[in-house]
Each structure stands twice: as C-alpha cells, then as structure tokens.
Structure 1
C-alpha cells in the first residue's frame, strides 16, 4: 500500500535521525550543561522524556502524517488547502490546551501560593484590565537551573506559567516586571499575530509543496523508479531551505521588535528598573552573550541582546 509505504519511510527516517542525535543530546545535557552548572536532569528523567516524546510523536505526529499523506494520495493537487485547514485547527488547539494536556506529561504544575507575590501580580493585572486567574508554577528545576516564564491559551483558558527557578532567583518586584512584559505581548496582540503568521507560513509552505509533490522528474532525480510522494517531500525540503532561512530572518526581526514593545509596555504600566534588573540577573544566570555581533543577531536572535534592551529601557 503506497500510503503505509510512505508512513514507514518517514518513520524510519525519524527513528534513524533520533538515534544519531541521541549521543549528542546526552553530551549536551550531561557534559556541557553540567560543566556550567545548568543541568539538573537525572538519567531517569532524560530517558523518560525521550520515551514520552516517542509516544507523543507516534500518536500526534503519526496521526497528522497519516492524514497528510492520505490527502496527497486521495485528493491530488487540492490536498494543500484541506491539510492547511487541519493544521490551523491543530495549532489553535495546541495553544489552548498545551498547559492542560501536554505539559503535565513532563512537568508538575501547581497554583502559585498565596502571599506577597500573588497579591502583587493580581493587583498589577487588575491595574491593566487583564483578568488573570490561572497563575501556575512549573518545576523547571527538575531539568535545569535556567529560568523562564510564558503565557499559554486565549480568553478564559489563558494561563501564566512561572518556573520555580524564576521564583528562587528574583524578588517580587522583578517577577511582576517579568509578568508585565508577558502581559505586554498579550495586550499588543503579539500572540494572536504570531499565531496568524504561523498559519500563513504553513499555508505558503503547503501551496509551494503542491507545485512539486506530483513531479515524477524530481522522484527520478532522487533515485526513484517512478513517482514517489516521500521522495518529492524530501526533495522539496532541500529546495525550500533557502526560502526557510529568509523567512526565519524575517520572523526573528519581528520577534525582536515585539520584545522591545513588550519591554516598553512593562515600563509604562509598572516600572522599568525592576525589569532591567531581572534581565541582568537572567543574563548572568544563563551566561548569555551580552554583546554579540550585530549580523549574528540579525540572522539568529529571536530576542534582542541584553545591552540593547537596557538601552531602550533607559530612554
């Protein structure tokens, strides 16, 4: 069956790729991260994460791949817009239910305890008309000493997640400033615009793929004996990589712009100094490069370097 032949092809590629990358992942975690004091992952957690990742990939990734390949074989050139709709719905659902369904498989989430920090967060949220009920703490220290915070979901399902390492490293005012930055992303519509941009990118990718996927010549060029969907997907991936790099540079530029806007929102609605102190602490704790080359930033950085953010906050 050509459909299951295609699925088996990509399954073998996934397994082979992961087996090749496994020793490098191990070295990165238990040698490099350990050397600089970041690693908190045990061997059990490392391999448990791998196993859970395989199961999720099999169920979710395998299901999407099966639908994708079935549409190619059954719908012909019209497959792209149908799968685009499927992918768009899937992306929205992941954003809505990530912290409720997926994250608990890997981390423990607990409500933020009552106290000074929670009161300050609630007071700030009310001051900017941002209803916030779900404030969760994640056991990030289970894997790393690095700290982070993020928003997930829309409407009543929106949640803010704070790493426990973040709570350990920052006083309440700095934590509220970090939260104000995240609220800035929400208020400036960055989350919605980011979702729409991602959906449009997927649509563009699928449309371009539809122009190549049924080419027998591409399959023959890659060693096939006739038309092969899986070979043409591999070929298209190689052809698309320069375009992907250009799109990535544009997305990084947009992300850096959004970070500056979120910083400005935090300064306007709370204070700039606690945010600046929080950024300094985060930079020190993660040993980040505070003054990277501008061209490297332009191509690779999704967040502005520390000195640029501090300069903007001071103005």
Structure 2
C-alpha cells in the first residue's frame, strides 16, 4: 500500500470512528428506563411451569443447531477468504473483472448456504414439530432462494463499488468508497420496504373500522404522521405475533401481522402499534440508518488498512480473488460487533416500550401481550447471559413485564 493510500484509509477510519462514537452517544437512549436498574420479574409469576419447560425444551433443540450453523459458516468463510487455496478457487473464475466479482459473490454465498443447509432444515423441523411454522417445504425453499438472491445482489453491488473504486482511484479509494457506501445504506432504508419486503410478504391496508380509527387517533395524539398502516400475510408462514416499522420519509410504514389483528384483543393490538409509533416518533429507523452508514464507512477504512497487507501477501485486490477475503472479514466484523449492535437495539426497544405504556395507559394489556408473544414464539424466558449479550436484539419478556409493572405503578 502506498503511503498516501495508507494515510487516506487511516483518516477515513479515525474520522468515521469518531463520528460513529459521537452519533451513538447523542442518538442512542442509553438510560431509557425510568427509575434506574430494572430487575426482571420471576418467570413463575408470568408463565406456568409447563410453558417455561416447553420454551426451554424448544430452545435446547434449536439453539445448538443455530449456533453450530453460525460457527460452520464463519469457519468456512475464513477457509475461503483467509487461505491461499480458498482464494485460488475464486481467482480462476472466468470473464472480465466485474463479471468475476459477481460470480465470486454468488459462489461464496451459495457454498455457505449449501453447507449450512442441513442445520436450517433441522431447525425448521423443530419449528414444525412445535407448531411455530405454517409454511410448506416448497414455499420455505422458495424463500431461501429469494433470500440468497437478495444477498447476492446486495453483495455484488457492494463489491463492485469497492473494487471499482480501488481500481479507479488507487490512493483515495477508501474515502470515495466509504462515502458512496454510506450513501447506499441510506438509500437502502428508503427502498427496502418497496423492493425487498414484498418478495416475502403480501400487504394490504388495514381496513376501515374501529381499530384503524383508534390507531390513527393514537398516532395523532403521539404526533406521528402515519404514511401507511399495512397488514402482512404472516400467518402463511408463522404462528408467532409481531409488528414493525420500516422505511424513511415517504416509504415509512407500520406493519402488523394478520394473526395479531385476528387473534388478539384490540387493546393488545394498540399496545403493539403504540410501540411501533414510538419508534417512528423518535426516528429509530433513521438512527439505525445513520449509525449503519457511519459504521460502514468505518469498516471500509479498516478494510483499506488491511488492503495493503493482503496485497503484500500476493492477493490480487482488483479482481474476484479478493471477494472471499472481503466477505470473510465482513462476516467476522458483524460477529464481533453484534453485542454493540444488539445492545443499541435493546435500548431503542426499551424506550419504545416506555412510550407505548405512557401512550396507552394500559400496562395490563401490555403485560398480557408480552405473555402471549412469549407463549406463541416459545421464547426462552431466561436465556444464558452470553446469548442475550450476543444475539438478543430485544429485551426479554421478563424485563419488559418488569418495566410495565414499574410504569403502571407510577414508580418512575
């Protein structure tokens, strides 16, 4: 790596790292729970012994396969990207450099998917056995194919951008690629609800009626402009209950699962919607997008620093041979940063819970909803601490119920 290129990469890393730290400090609610530390409630006060045992048994039959699948995926990615023999396979891909890059991304993703497919099948068998999935095997397989196609498309665009910039601007490429990649993260938040979500679900507007009127009234009281209230056909795939908010600006939408609307009382549906409206009011999608953009720029700066080391070891950094290296490093970075990402997510979720409880004034409905969510999804009420730290994007049901009890009692 030339000295100017190293200086640019170092500058991008330092600057984007500082921006990321400042944004996280300012935008993330690090103390969203009123009244200080929040001890979880006793699981026996929320769930029956049979429900707890069933959830723990389900976790014991699915979590090991999921964790093993992740371990195999990471190990295989390292073998493909961090070893000379692995990269040599990709170096022999035919065609011009840009075609080779797309082929390399596709080969990398398909190999990882095929090798870890048995674990996905084992987990799905448990989902069927415990009644959590309503999806047929053919439609499940089709969703896998769609997911792989999306991953390959996104990965190809990202790698073409990265390698194209490195080929065109040999000194300044980390700054240029980092800036463009950050912009693409923002664009992705706009287009994801329009291009990706419809690949997996059909959406219909929530019909006119009392529930829609109540939701619009709640949104008006919370000062949230609701672009769309949509119902997803989630029951074709799962029996679990959920809702979410996605998109930015004109593509923002609140989506509720059809089985949530059909199976739960209106006050519990309103509790879920109030939570999602809180996300919208605080701009949590925007916060996640901004942090993601800064994090992407930071990652490219780090990659720029590693680029020279790879080049000195004989890795061709302007063609398909570098693709498995970049993707392996990306996978490792995502794994290492998961506690931070999920820690931020949990704080945002707690803030939305607090706002939802205050907006509805109905902690009993919130508590019952959390019980139903835990029962329907067979969520382990007391997962291991390391698992919560690394993989949990939401607080546990016991923490959320403790929050509802505190807010409901006025001990804020």
Q: TM-score normalised by the shorter chain: which range applies? A: 0.7 to 0.9
Q: Report the Cα distance in structure 2 between the residues aligned to 1:296 and 1:177, rounded to whole angstroms.
A: 27
Q: 1:195 to 1:167 in 2, by over 3 A?
A: same
Other-structure match for 2:260 = 166
Kindly provide the CA deviation profile for residues 124-160 of structure 1, in whole angstroms up to 9, marking residues without a partner as x: 1111121224111111111111221111122343211
Higher relative contact order (Cα pairs below 8 Å, separated by 6+ residues): 2
* Correspondence 1:106-117 to 2 at 5 A: 106-117=200-211
SS in 2 for 1:86: helix
SS in 2 for 1:228: coil
Q: Report the Cα distance in structure 2 between the residues aligned to 1:163 and 1:191, rounded to whole angstroms.
A: 19
Unaligned runs of 5+ in 1: 221-225
Q: 1:256 to 1:71 in 2, by over 3 A?
A: same
Say if 2:201 and 2:232, in contact at 8 Å, map to a contact too: yes
Other-structure match for 1:311 = 402
Q: Which runs of 4+ in 1 moved over 6 A?
A: 239-242
Q: Report the Cα distance in structure 2 between the residues aligned to 1:111 and 1:77, rounded to whole angstroms.
A: 50
How far residue 77 of structure 1 moved from its aligned partner, in angstroms, is 4.0
How far residue 210 of structure 1 moved from its aligned partner, in angstroms, is 0.4
Kindly provide the CA deviation profile for residues 47-87 of structure 1, in whole angstroms up to 9, marking residues without a partner as x: 32234334444544323322222222222242222222332
Other-structure match for 2:373 = 282
SS in 1 for 2:214: helix
Kindly provide the CA deviation profile for residues 95-136 of structure 1, in whole angstroms up to 9, marking residues without a partner as x: 223222222222111111112211111111111121224111
Stretch deviating more after TM superposition (38-47 or 289-298): 289-298
Q: 1:42 to 1:217 in 2, by over 3 A?
A: same
Say if 2:370 and 2:397, in contact at 8 Å, map to a contact too: yes
Other-structure match for 2:360 = 270
Other-structure match for 1:223 = none
Question: TM-score normalized by structure 2?
Answer: 0.68
Unaligned runs of 5+ in 2: 1-95, 407-412
Say if 2:101 and 2:156, in contact at 8 Å, map to a contact too: no
Question: TM-score normalized by structure 1?
Answer: 0.88
SS in 2 for 1:213: helix
Q: Report the Cα distance in structure 2 between the residues aligned to 1:293 and 1:43, rounded to whole angstroms.
A: 31
Query: How many residues get paired?
Result: 308
Other-structure match for 2:382 = 291
Q: Report the Cα distance in structure 1 between the residues aligned to 2:244 and 2:179, rounded to whole angstroms.
A: 27
